[in-house]
Structure 1
Amino acid sequence: MAMVGDSYEYYDRRFYDLTVPIADIELLYDGCRWAEGPVWFADHGALVWSDIPNQRLLRWIEGQGVSVFRARTEFVNGNTRDRQGRLVSCEHGGRRVIRLEPDGSITTIADRHDGKRLNSPNDVVVKSDGSVWFTDPDYGILSDYEGYKSPREQAGNYVFRVDPETGETRIVADDFVKPNGLCFDAEEKRLYVADSGRSHDPDGPHHIRVFDVGDDGTLTGGRVFCEVDPGVPDGFRLDIHGNLWTSCQNGVICFAPDGTALGKIRFPSMVSNLTFGGPRRNRLFVTATNAVYAVFVATTGIQRP
């Protein structure tokens, strides 16, 4: 293992081509309780993320600093944008997936399955066909810190797909302990899903699985793509070369398309999630406990609205 300063660990020479070792980690903001769900708004040059316990979404713009984007958010966690540029979010408190409309109104995308309330939707992605895919572990109903302590109504912790035409919410994967972050590859032929079960069980899973995506919206396969250690995988993104960048306890680990761990960028506090942004999508924005950081890298993230 090679080290550059205190921030970079190199396990494989390929990681040198993906990082800028002289690029400092920049602190953008440190006034959160639990920062999560970063999403880049390229059309506004803005980063938006969740401060879950404080029930707010914050926005950072280069040269302008941080402001409140939305307040009283019902413990919103993961965020993404659909192909129309609308913000899609997971509410722990409301136990639903919502969409923020241009006029400021809220549309509920999913809040029940088989007539029963969801657990606490965690992370979400929108496919190019308009289907909405989200994970539904129980983190938001375990305590009053990230939601409201409540009994579960679903029999398990599932991965769901919402049909863009009918609005039907369907289980696409039912064998996770605590499904968490998820991401499509560039061709949308594969779906990667994290299982962070070790967060509440030292013997629980701490890996990311990969599925083949059928034209009918079904998933097959589900092999373990990589294991994350220390900690658990939470949020992650892919770059244009197919490398997967994921949160871990003390940083961001990069895995090659074949699952080989290439290296790590260390951060001062526990990392929860990340996204690529900036005008060239070569800036990694990282949410970590009470703070949000940024660092330039030598690759670019997959293009999204």
Structure 2
Amino acid sequence: MSTTLNMLSEDCISTILSLTSPPDACRFMLASSSLRSAAESDIVWGRFLPSDLPQLLSRTHTQLTFSSKKELFFRLCDSMLVDGGISTFALNKINGKKSYVLSAKALSISLINEANHWTWTTHSTSRFVEVIELKTISNLEIEGRIDTQDLSPNTTYGAYLIIKVSDHPFGLDSIPYETSISKHEYLVTNTAYLCPLDDQKQQFESLFFMNRRQMMEKRVVEGEGRRPSKRGDGWLEVEVGEFFVGEKSEFVKMSLIEVKGHQLKGGLIIEGIEIRPKC
């Protein structure tokens, strides 16, 4: 195949490779020295960059320097702060699709400005300057919004609440929470817990509140009862839901709400909500 390609001009080869994917282009760089220049060209990597690149770069927290569009692509694959540092943006290395993390400061959280209920703090493993920790509250509501024009079209996205549980949590796992994704006439609900199953303290608490929990679960919308899973960055994530981004621009609302519980709870640390491609 490389022999056949070598018969074509470099611009023609670059145009062909621009219709593939970033991993394909990288493989062609290694195929032969004659194909390397075409595979590294701005024609190829410019095609993998988002169409709203100028607007995106204007939102970055720091000045980016790059010598080629290939270098810029891989710079954008690393999570970078945007919108004054309250969100992060990154490209997927496999398909070039966009993802975001909305920090706690970019979310709407019940009683967020009440010092008796929440406290802003730093965390060594967070990508943001501050995260928020729950002291105590009886009714928890978390909501995030994003415009689909900021995402990649014709893509299914998942929304994930990024959290940690402190050393002394209470009341977080007595009942499931209702999660929902809504946009225009689209609404999908589910249920989720905020503590993983392997947390022994929370298992004890669940047993302690078992009768009350069984009663409350009957009032909550039916769902999977999703549990948090461990992330590569040391945090936990619980899936809020998924949605499809078409060509039309519209706002998506992602929420986690305590519906009927009103159980005092504390010890939850919230970093934000990640919106990333599922395929």
Tell me the TM-score range normalised by the shorter chain: under 0.3
Which has more radius of gyration?
A: 2
Normalising by structure 2, we get a TM-score of 0.27
Normalising by structure 1, we get a TM-score of 0.25
Structure with a larger share of its residues in helix:
2
